[in-house]
Amino acid sequence: TEDSTEDSTEDSTEDSTEDSTEDTTDEGAEGTLDGTLEEIINKIYETADLSDDFKNFVSESVYFVEVTPDYERIEYFLGKKGLDFEEALASEPMMQPGAYSLVLVRAKEGADIEKMKTDIKENIDPMKWICVGVKEENVIVDSVGNIIILIMSDEAAKPLHDAFLALGNK
Q: What is the C-alpha separation between 16 and 118, in angstroms, rounded?
A: 27
pTM above the 0.75 mark? yes
Domain presence at residue 85: yes
pLDDT per residue as tens, the chain (170 positions): 444 444 433 343 333 333 333 332 355 556 678 899 999 999 999 999 999 999 999 999 999 999 999 999 999 999 999 999 999 999 999 876 679 999 999 999 999 999 999 999 999 999 998 888 999 999 999 999 999 999 999 999 999 999 999 998 86
For the chain, give me the number of helices (H) and strands (E)?
6, 5
Q: What is the pLDDT at residue 77?
A: 96
Non-local (6+) Cβ contacts of 44 within 8 A are: 102, 160, 163, 164, 167
Domain presence at residue 17: no
Domain presence at residue 24: no
Query: Which amino acid, 75?
Result: E
Count of domains observed in the chain: 1
Domain presence at residue 9: no
Could you tell me the residue range of the domain that residue 157 belongs to? 34-168
Domain presence at residue 28: no
Domain presence at residue 61: yes
Q: What is the C-alpha separation between 93 and 13, in angstroms, rounded?
A: 44
Domain presence at residue 93: yes
Domain presence at residue 27: no
Non-local (6+) Cβ contacts of 132 within 8 A are: 96, 98, 99
